[in-house]
C-alpha cells in the first residue's frame, strides 16, 4: 500500500503544473470577443492585462483592429507598427485589470465580472428581441 501511494505522489509530481503566467495567458485568450475584449501590453517592464471592451467604439483606428488582436499580446503592434502617442499609453491605464499577466487572482475576478456582463447583455438582447 505504501509503494502505491508513493507511485501516485511521483505521478502527480511528474505532471507539469501550469505556471501563473500560463493560466493568465489562457484567461487572456478566452476574452477575445466584442463582449469581453482583453489585450496584453508591456508597460513599464510588466505585461499588463487591459480590458478594452468599453473602448472598442472609441478607438480612433476603429474597433476592427482591436478585434483582430483581442486575446493576444499587442506590445509589438502597439509600439512598433502603429506608433501610439504618449496620451494613448496614459489612456491604457484606464483599462488595466491586472498589473501583471501572472496576477491570476485579479484576472479570475475580472473574468467573473466579464461573464456577468455578457449574461446581462445577452439577457437584454433577448428582451429586445421578444418585444419586436
Q: Is the pTM of this model over 0.75?
A: yes
Contact 23, 97 (CB under 8 A): no
Contact 39, 74 (CB under 8 A): yes
Cα 97 to Cα 104: distance, rounded to the nearest angstrom: 11
Q: What is the pLDDT along the chain (132 residues), one digit of tens a residue?
A: 566 766 666 665 555 567 999 999 999 999 999 889 999 999 989 999 999 999 999 998 899 999 999 999 999 999 888 788 889 999 999 999 999 999 999 999 999 999 998 898 888 888 888 876
Amino acid at each position: 500500500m505504501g509503494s502505491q501511494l508513493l507511485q501516485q505522489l511521483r505521478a502527480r509530481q511528474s505532471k507539469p503544473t501550469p505556471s501563473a503566467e500560463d493560466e493568465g495567458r489562457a484567461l487572456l485568450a478566452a476574452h477575445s470577443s466584442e463582449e469581453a475584449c482583453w489585450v496584453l501590453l508591456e508597460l513599464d517592464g510588466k505585461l499588463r492585462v487591459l480590458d478594452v471592451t468599453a473602448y472598442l467604439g472609441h478607438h480612433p483606428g476603429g474597433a476592427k483592429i482591436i478585434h483582430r488582436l483581442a486575446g493576444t499580446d499587442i506590445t509589438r503592434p502597439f509600439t512598433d507598427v502603429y506608433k501610439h502617442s504618449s496620451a494613448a499609453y496614459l489612456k491604457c491605464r484606464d483599462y488595466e485589470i491586472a498589473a501583471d499577466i501572472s496576477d491570476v487572482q485579479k484576472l479570475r475576478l475580472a473574468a467573473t465580472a466579464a461573464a456577468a456582463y455578457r449574461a446581462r447583455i445577452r439577457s437584454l438582447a433577448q428582451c429586445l428581441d421578444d418585444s419586436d
